[in-house]
Structure 1
Amino acid sequence: MTMEKELFVSAPGKVILHGEHAVVHGKVALAVSLNLRTFLRIRPRNDNTVFINLPNIGTKLRWDISELQSLVPAFQDSGNEPMSPSPEHLDILKTFARFPDGSKDAESLAVLAFLYLYLCICGKDLPSMDITVWSQLPTGAGLGSSAAYSVCVASALLTFSGRVADPLKESAETLSWTRTDLDIINSWAFQGEKVIHGNPSGVDNAVGTWGGVLRYQAGKITPLVRLPKLHIVLTNTKVPRSTKVLVAGVKDKLVKFPRIMEPVLCSIDAISQECQQVLEHMATRLSMDHYSILEELIDINQHHLNVIGVGHPSLDRVCQVTASHGLHSKLTGSGGGGCAITLLRPDVDPAVVEAAKQELTACGFQCWETIIGAPGVSVHSPSSLTENILQAFLDE
């Protein structure tokens, strides 16, 4: 049974708090939700079509249900477990969508992930629907934008088709699903991530689903409970980088200088574990001393990341600018450019933060003041959404 009303959902992006690159070598990493979110509206149509609108990348596509119905037999999952996308599945979808073989642009990947999840989740009786997805997250910046998209699409389709319950009640504005339903959403979002990335770790979609802080080590993902929300400035240097090249560079150094590099990676691992303990203590008894420790850990880890070769002059500039205002920053993600996070203590003067943001913007960087440790995937009533978010969902 499909829903007869519109549904709004959102999912957060993510940053790595500590553990970049060390996690590739079996160490602990802490991934945390970022309250820059992707929003999705889904509503029924009565014209036997499916319409998808992705305004961030300028994509509007419409398909007849009769055309999509011919694809259904190849996309039926076995039992209750989500089915992983095969090369044959992707070839079928690329041919249907008329994407050239090897297309990896944002539009083709987003559309392929949607089509895959739509055909697998909705089953034999494909519903007519209208979907618009709008995001506060920049793409390609290592902030989990594709995972937030996959989580939104999976949660919306599962709820719309009745495979998970609609948690929104008349008396509430923002609610989430049961733990069992969240497990189902996360499993399907992971399949969407596979369409986009091929062999993802599963961390980004888990953060988008559960929110808060997740510990990741050797393929095991553990959500941490009762953790505080921390205010940060997120800075996008806009410097492009290749995660694959950076990971290979760290590996080369580890092979060449094992007695030097292994202790550095072990120290990064210890930083992650120390940070986890501090965050757990902050959840029960908050002290300004906790922020002092977090600041020291940020400074030490940033130096370590430079030592292993994933720094960049743009990231050094972020650290220099924020340090001149008494703030502490480190890169987040693969490094080599990309993004940095700056911790904000509760007692920091807003004028100091604004001055730092203005100076970073003058460097050509993009800044957001936001929080980490935000809620995971959520369903919203229209009245709970801000005007600028609702504006993004105006009719095409």
Structure 2
Amino acid sequence: MHVGERFVSAPGKAILHGEHAVVHGKVALAVSLNLRTYLRLQGTASGQICIHLPNIDTFRAWDVAALQPLVSDRKAAGGRCGELDLELVERLRAFAGVAEGSTDSGNMAVLAFLYLYLSGFAGAQTLPSMSVRVWSELPTGAGLGSSAAYTVCLSAALLSARGTISSLLTQPQDTASWSEEELTLINKWAFQGEKIIHGNPSGVDNAVATWGGILRYHAGKITPLSRVPLLRILLTNTKVPRSTKLLVSGVKDKINKFPSIMVPVLESVDAVSRTCELTLREMATAGASAQQYDTLEELMDINQHHLSVMGVGHPALDTLCRLTLAHGLHSKLTGAGGGGCGITLLRPETAQRVAQEAVWELREAGFECWETSIGGPGVLLHCATSLPQGVLDVLTSH
């Protein structure tokens, strides 16, 4: 079985509002970042399956003949996606030499790739030889959905290579997406990859990478907002490491210790998320006004204070908020907090000079900072000429 070349990309994600409160049944808004992960899948005649992940210095190759026995007794997936096949995961752990409990990003990325490859092509007369190369604009381990963007790219590329979903770009298209039914299938397969990497993910990250835009998450239900504005932001990585598990546990302990204080805080965060959602809907349908941007800025300030009250702030995040406010810009942490990343809203009239000065000062403080946008498209199929030249160079290098 020979497969053709294809290029796929998917976005990262940030949490706009609702961090931590979402764990306790409140509304959260997750948004796509215009920082993307790119994948090139190329059929080969080498008799091997290869995965190249230059961001994390991971390069692995296996003979297809050695992989075939792992799926010889499995029925064809046929596009279906049920529960994670734990028996296959364990076989692949042994095959790839990945120890139980390993959290190494390279090992887990390899394990997810092998699982999606073998599951997608189970039942094929022969497993196809191919080379897959992935490069990302997203930093790993920063809470920006890098693993979900990776598994969504893998799922879309492998499903299209198998012929389960469409894969043709029609002229004069440079990029194309898939039907709602196909996106749902991509998302389901990507969620299996996320389970391998993270154990018990919420499904939010892979949903954002699949559909893009802004998603509402509430009590386990994920709902894409049908129309959303594209917003300019600064994204800042403080590079302060943190444990999401410990931060979530700390918020829970504080709620249990001071319920009369903390429960109203959670209710207020919920109200912030709902007010932001309503504002974004109005901006998308009637056009954005200065007053609506004022509202978004105030909501960011309020929510940042909520998160500090929850105990997930950090001096680095305080520095971020202080430096950007000196330029009239409003910021908040995004994700688990305790360091990690923050987002800063840029208004349409914010001068490029102001944004550049803020970026320079944040970098001088030791942070990584990018000007980007939120609310852009989800997973896309590309023709080679539509890719940024630098990205194409990395994906096609040897």
> TM-score range with shorter-chain normalisation?
over 0.9
TM-score by length of 1: 0.97
- 1:22 maps to 2:21: yes
In structure 2, do the counterparts of structure 1 residues 92 and 179 end up closer, same or farther at CA, with 3 Å as the change threshold?
A: same
Q: How far 1:99 moved relative to its partner? A: 2.3
TM-score by length of 2: 0.97
- Preserved contact between residue 329 and residue 344 of structure 2 (Cα < 8 Å): yes
Q: Any runs of at least 4 consecutive aligned residues in structure 1 with deviations exceeding 6 A, and if so which?
A: none
Query: 2:117, 2:127 → 1: CA distance?
Result: 8
Partner of 2:350: 348
Q: How far 1:81 moved relative to its partner? A: 3.0
Q: How do 1:133-282 residues align onto structure 2 when only pairs under 5 Å count?
A: 133-282=134-283
- Preserved contact between residue 2 and residue 161 of structure 1 (Cα < 8 Å): no
SS, match of residue 149 in structure 2:
helix
- Preserved contact between residue 79 and residue 120 of structure 2 (Cα < 8 Å): no
Query: 2:240, 2:14 → 1: CA distance?
Result: 17
> Where do 5+ consecutive residues of structure 2 fail to align?
none
Query: 2:81, 2:168 → 1: CA distance?
Result: 22
Partner of 2:362: 360
Q: How do 1:1-396 residues align onto structure 2 when only pairs under 5 Å count?
A: 3=3, 5-73=4-72, 76=75, 80-124=79-123, 125-285=126-286, 286-396=288-398
Give the aligned residue type for 2:133.
T
In structure 2, do the counterparts of structure 1 residues 206 and 2 end up closer, same or farther at CA, with 3 Å as the change threshold?
A: farther
SS, match of residue 307 in structure 1:
helix
Give the aligned residue type for 1:205.
N
SS, match of residue 151 in structure 1:
helix
- Preserved contact between residue 167 and residue 177 of structure 1 (Cα < 8 Å): no
In structure 2, do the counterparts of structure 1 residues 305 and 74 end up closer, same or farther at CA, with 3 Å as the change threshold?
A: farther
Give the aligned residue type for 2:369.
C
> Which moves more between the two structures, 136-145 or 382-391?
382-391
Q: How far 1:170 moved relative to its partner? A: 2.8
The percentage of aligned residue pairs carrying the same residue is 58
Give the aligned residue type for 1:14.
K
For 1:139-168, what per-residue CA distance to the aligned partner results, in whole angstroms no more than 9, with x for missing partners?
Answer: 000000000000000000000110101142
SS, match of residue 132 in structure 1:
strand
Give the aligned residue type for 1:148.
A
In structure 2, do the counterparts of structure 1 residues 377 and 306 end up closer, same or farther at CA, with 3 Å as the change threshold?
A: same
- Preserved contact between residue 167 and residue 176 of structure 1 (Cα < 8 Å): no
Cα RMSD of the aligned pairs, angstroms, is: 1.3
Query: 1:332, 1:354 → 2: CA distance?
Result: 21
- Preserved contact between residue 77 and residue 122 of structure 2 (Cα < 8 Å): no
Give the aligned residue type for 2:23.
V
Count of equivalent residues: 395
Give the aligned residue type for 2:100.
D
In structure 2, do the counterparts of structure 1 residues 328 and 69 end up closer, same or farther at CA, with 3 Å as the change threshold?
A: same
